[in-house]
Amino acid sequence: MPERGRSSKVLSVASEIFPLIKTGGLADVTGALPAALAALDVEVRTLVPGYPAVLEGFDGAVAATWAGFFGGPARLLRGSRGSLDLFVLDAPHLYARPGNPYLDASGQDWPDNAERFAALSFAATRIGWGEVDAFVPDVIHGHDWQAALVPAYLEFAGDGRRRPATVLTLHNIAFQGQFPAATFSRLGLPERAFVPHGLEYFGDVGFLKAGILLANAVTTVSPSYAHEIVTPDGGMGMDAMLRWRGDALSGIVNGIDIEVWNPATDPHLAMRFDVDALDARAANRYALEERFGLAPGPGPLVCMISRLTTQKGIDLVVEAVDAIVALGARMAVLGSGDTALEEALLEAASRHPARVAVRIGYDEGLSHLLQGGSDAILVPSRFEPCGLTQLYGLRYGCVPVVSRVGGLADTVIDANLASLAAGVATGVQFADVTVDGVVEAMSRLVELHARPDAWRGLQRSGMGSDVSWTQSARLYADLYRRLVP
Ligand code: ADP
Ligand code: GLC
């Protein structure tokens, strides 16, 4: 227990962290939240797997050595990268593989993902037990299924050892970490953990399920998503358990790193700008037109920066493209994901040369330029726990057009008559997540874009929204302090 006035110590446990390894928004969150918490006297150290991208150039001290750790030797390294204080679990038999943290070169899950991420959780647990003198956490804060077994190890393998409080954050309950029952014997847990109030999930092993039941507190990344996941429609099978957790579940909306995402200093932009120099955005738009091979035009240039999956509504955009072009808009899409969606997007673009362009791939720098040079960003997700690209859009004067779900509903103020008159509108929201819904929203966007005063107003109020971590970090700090008074 921290004494009064002493800072609390939190071990964050994550399978990705920006800028070392990133496949999506989870990395942005785990990379930015520690600094915001440090300002509130919460000391965060993050445990991450020792993938090649993490170990490259990492000069950590050996904090522990564990033989026979999930099938091979492991070392726990302690050090820092930039402002991030890290523990790195160096276990080559689990993590020394090229490419994506979760998938092999052919896009299949690594066959031993259960062991790979059980190992991450177990390493966190041993730190929690106090095995590493240098950092004995009051709270272990795990992110997603990859870190969800921490409360289970503490519960079933603790044998009277010290027990830190646990928080589990759900970034996306579509990913549940469910494995065949035979996996259980390889997790190093006693048989009594394979029960409904433990890891057993419809006869399988459920990582996320165990974490939801056993963590002291469960959070998710927006208040609206917290409401959605306790319903059968949004709960993806977990809703009953989440309802059972009652007040232990809460929604804390994500912020963004306003240093990394700052249009006034961004090195990826052709020209930097701020709210008082919005005309400078034109130079970024020209740069985009050149890079994407788009012809100039009077209508809005609308971007998308996204994993290409059905969650993100990409199939709706494929079908809506002709109508969007007919409205006078142009589109620049950056993304990668499902092969069928990649191909469908490329095919749609080929029908509209110089009006629609698609870049398949992952390009952090180009994602900044898209935010700084496009007029709008389209995020038509079927569900969205929080979503970060609309927040980057707000900060960059790139007006978000979003479906009214999850964190998109919580962070964008729809441009209706009342909000426009009050000068608080920041984007366009649509409730009907269908092709027609997307086209209708785009048609409203095109109309707004044709009204320079209304448009500037939207950009200015978006850029004035507080999208930093300041408020939400305080909510996490309060939560930790409630758990460890
Ligand atoms: P999710 O985590 O569900 O993919 P978020 O909106 O929370 O969605 O976060 C996505 C993050 O990944 C953002 O930082 C976004 O800019 C980035 N991103 C997604 N696709 C790409 C891409 N193809 N190239 C560069 N950045 C991308
Ligand atoms: C997940 C969600 C996304 C959220 C991100 C960070 O990837 O899909 O909505 O913004 O996590 O919390």
Q: Are residues 219 and 356 in the same domain?
A: no
Averaged pLDDT for residues 388-393: 98
Q: Are residues 320 and 418 in the same domain?
A: yes
From the CA of 143, the nearest ligand is: 2
pLDDT digits (tens, 9 = 90+) for 19-31: 999 999 999 999 9
Mutate to test the pocket of ligand 1, among 146, 307, 381 (most ligand atoms within 8 A of CB): 307
Asked, for residue 264, whether it belongs to a domain, the answer is no
Residues 126/131/136/140 CA torsion (nearest 10 deg): 0
Asked, for residue 70, whether it belongs to a domain, the answer is yes
pLDDT digits (tens, 9 = 90+) for 300-328: 999 999 999 999 999 999 999 999 999 99
Question: How far does CA 466 lie from the centroid of its chain?
Answer: 18
Assess contact for 337 and 307: CB atoms under 8 A: yes
CA atoms within 13 A on the CB side of 35: 19
As for how many domains the chain has, the answer is 2
> Rounded to the nearest whole angstrom, what is the distance from the C-alpha of residue 350 to the centroid of ligand 2?
31
Asked, for residue 260, whether it belongs to a domain, the answer is no
Q: Are residues 192 and 330 in the same domain?
A: no
> Rounded to the nearest whole angstrom, what is the distance from the C-alpha of residue 24 to the centroid of ligand 1?
5
pLDDT digits (tens, 9 = 90+) for 223-255: 999 999 999 999 999 999 999 999 999 999 999
Distance CA 312, CA 314 (A): 6
Q: Are residues 35 and 82 in the same domain?
A: yes
From the CA of 384, the nearest ligand is: 2
Asked, for residue 262, whether it belongs to a domain, the answer is no
Asked, for residue 182, whether it belongs to a domain, the answer is yes
Q: Are residues 444 and 475 in the same domain?
A: no
Distance CA 388, CA 402 (A): 12
Average pLDDT, the chain: 97
Nearest CA to ligand 2 atom 12: 171
The whole-number pLDDT of residue 15 equals: 98
Domain around 12: 8-255+469-483
Q: Are residues 241 and 287 in the same domain?
A: no
> Rounded to the nearest whole angstrom, what is the distance from the C-alpha of residue 334 to the centroid of ligand 1?
10
Q: Are residues 79 and 25 in the same domain?
A: yes
Asked, for residue 37, whether it belongs to a domain, the answer is yes
Measured CA distances, 92 to 49, 54, 76 (Å): 10, 12, 12
* 30 touches ligand 1 (CB under 6 Å): no
Joined together, the tokens standing for residue 169 give 């954050």
Kindly state the helix (H) or strand (E) to which residue 458 belongs, with its residue range. Answer: helix 452-464
Ligand 2 atom showing the smallest separation from residue 381 Cα: 9
Answer whether residue 441 shows pLDDT above 80.
Answer: yes
Q: Are residues 325 and 235 in the same domain?
A: no
User: What single-letter amino acid sits at 34?
Assistant: P
pLDDT band per the 50, 70, 90 thresholds, residue 6: low
pLDDT band per the 50, 70, 90 thresholds, residue 430: very high
Answer whether residue 53 shows pLDDT above 70.
Answer: yes
Q: Are residues 284 and 195 in the same domain?
A: no
pLDDT band per the 50, 70, 90 thresholds, residue 167: very high
> Rounded to the nearest whole angstrom, what is the distance from the C-alpha of residue 311 to the centroid of ligand 1?
13
CA-based R_g, the chain, Å: 23
* SS3 at position 174: coil
CATH code of the domain in which 65 resides: 3.40.50.2000
From the CA of 252, the nearest ligand is: 2
> Rounded to the nearest whole angstrom, what is the distance from the C-alpha of residue 257 to the centroid of ligand 1?
14
Ligand 2 pocket list (CB less than 6 A): 24-26, 29, 171-172, 221, 254, 384-388, 407
CB-based burial of residue 396 (10 Å sphere; 0-12 exposed, 13-18 middle, 19+ buried)?
buried
Assess contact for 355 and 294: CB atoms under 8 A: yes
Joined together, the tokens standing for residue 474 give 């305080």
> Rounded to the nearest whole angstrom, what is the distance from the C-alpha of residue 313 to the centroid of ligand 2?
15
Asked, for residue 2, whether it belongs to a domain, the answer is no
Q: Are residues 229 and 330 in the same domain?
A: no
* 313 touches ligand 1 (CB under 6 Å): no
The whole-number pLDDT of residue 32 equals: 98
pTM: 0.97
The whole-number pLDDT of residue 3 equals: 45
Assess contact for 51 and 90: CB atoms under 8 A: no
Answer whether residue 485 shows pLDDT above 90.
Answer: no
> Rounded to the nearest whole angstrom, what is the distance from the C-alpha of residue 100 to the centroid of ligand 2?
17
Averaged pLDDT for residues 84-110: 95
Asked, for residue 361, whether it belongs to a domain, the answer is yes
Q: Are residues 71 and 108 in the same domain?
A: yes
Assess contact for 379 and 387: CB atoms under 8 A: yes
Joined together, the tokens standing for residue 399 give 């007006």
From the CA of 410, the nearest ligand is: 2
Q: Are residues 16 and 107 in the same domain?
A: yes
Measured CA distances, 422 to 269, 375, 452, 457 (Å): 32, 22, 17, 10
The whole-number pLDDT of residue 1 equals: 44
